[in-house]
Amino acid sequence: MIEVENLSKYYDGFCAVNRIDFSVQKGEIVGLLGPNGAGKTSTLRMLTGYLSPTSGNIRVKEYSIRDDALKIKHLMGYLPESAPLYRAMLVYDYLDFVARIRGLDEDKAKNRIRALSELCGLTEIMHFSIGELSRGLRQRVGLAHAMMSDPEILILDEPTSGLDPNQIVEIRDIIRRAAKEKTIILSTHILSEAEATCDRVIIIHRGKIVADDDTRTLSEISGLDQVVTLALRHAPAEAAAERLKGIDGVLDVQETGKIDSETLVLKVRCREGSDPREAIYKSVKETDWVLLELHQETQNLETIFRELTRED
């Protein structure tokens, strides 16, 4: 569906996007992840034809961004970061304007605006001017704007940034409802966001792609070991470490601190893919120590992200 080939963008000598390649299949939801200034917005702006690439090319279906930008724009709906819309216009007028530019005829435009106002929850605010709306509401108007022509590809730049947790859930719901049969690329610097909505995650750092994989695979095969944390009361540190190291799958035991003089906190590094929690419990049960806490720390995207984008 979308092929990005060797794409670069320089601003007055500053390299924002550095020779990136990726492709997106039809129906995928791809998250573009990276710290601020990583080149996410520049990449999306080039995808949508707002900026022209310094070098490289983007193909959408059979069209190339250099020759058929207009045809590509017809296939795409785009919501820029923080939804910069005309503040003086009423919500209805704005959606009507977008429908007109998108070339919808009168009846179709009316039906589409009605459907979108229900999908995005705008029915109550159609007669407000956009400048009066809160950020969350404005973002929803922006989503309706992007989905006006029912485009095959939806590109959303930080769709949930600056929103409160309830609004984030709402926006995510709208995206998920709209996601059927659509290809979506969204950028975010919030990791839980990408984990919650995306099939695939592309992590960008300083204009380069540092990881590109399924969300699930990325969390599983991260090259990082599983860590189990446990708190033991009445256990001498050395004896406890000795005992735990004897369990199958355990690589290393580290004392990380004490809750009080009696209680020891230990971090147990385990082999990848193993789950020795049951064995640990049984082993501790044989002694007269008291097990206060036992939990496995999931290696989520957060850890991977920090690992990959660490400044050396």
Residue whose CB is less far from another protein, 135 or 277: 135
Q: Does 53 bind another protein (CB under 8 A)?
A: no
Supply the minimum distance, in Å, between the C-beta of residue 230 and another protein. 51
How many other C-beta atoms can be found within 10 angstroms of the C-beta atom of residue 187? 26
Dihedral of alpha carbons 86, 92, 96, 98, sign: positive
Q: Contact at 8 Å (CB) between 294 and 230?
A: yes
Residue whose CB is less far from another protein, 64 or 287: 64
From 32-40, 101-109, 168-176, 266-274, give the range in contact with another protein by CB under 8 A: 101-109
C-alpha neighbours within 13 Å on the C-beta side of residue 39: 24
Q: Does 140 bind another protein (CB under 8 A)?
A: no
Lateral strand order in the sheet of 226-233: 250-258, 263-270, 226-233, 290-297
CA atoms of 225 and 207, how far apart (whole Å): 28
Strand-pair category, 63-64 with 55-60: antiparallel
Residue whose CB is less far from another protein, 16 or 85: 85
Q: Does 66 bind another protein (CB under 8 A)?
A: no
Strand-pair category, 208-214 with 263-270: unpaired
Residue whose CB is less far from another protein, 48 or 160: 48
Supply the minimum distance, in Å, between the C-beta of residue 123 and another protein. 22
Kindly calculate the radius of gyration of the chain based on its CA atoms and give it in whole angstroms: 25
Strand-pair category, 250-258 with 263-270: antiparallel
Q: Does 10 bind another protein (CB under 8 A)?
A: no
Residue whose CB is less far from another protein, 46 or 201: 46
Supply the minimum distance, in Å, between the C-beta of residue 260 and another protein. 55
Q: Does 70 bind another protein (CB under 8 A)?
A: yes
Let me know how long the chain is.
Answer: 312
Residues in binding contact with another protein, number by CB under 8 A: 27
From 17-25, 46-54, 177-185, 218-226, give the range in contact with another protein by CB under 8 A: 46-54
Q: Does 93 bind another protein (CB under 8 A)?
A: yes
Tokens linked to 249: 């799958």
Q: Does 68 bind another protein (CB under 8 A)?
A: no
Among 11, 26, 67, 87, binds another protein (CB under 8 A): 87
CA atoms of 89 and 156, how far apart (whole Å): 22
User: What is the DSSP annotation of 226-263?
Assistant: EEEEEEEES--HHHHHHHHHTSTTEEEEEEEEESSSSE
Binders in 143-162 for another protein, by CB under 8 A = 145
Q: Does 45 bind another protein (CB under 8 A)?
A: yes
Q: Does 40 bind another protein (CB under 8 A)?
A: no
What amino acid is encoded at 261 in this protein? S
Q: Does 89 bind another protein (CB under 8 A)?
A: yes
Residue whose CB is less far from another protein, 46 or 209: 46
CA atoms of 92 and 291, how far apart (whole Å): 61
How many other C-beta atoms can be found within 10 angstroms of the C-beta atom of residue 101? 10
Q: Does 92 bind another protein (CB under 8 A)?
A: no
Q: Which residues bind another protein (CB under 8 A)?
A: 45, 48-50, 70, 73-74, 76, 78, 80, 82-89, 93, 97-98, 100-103, 142, 145
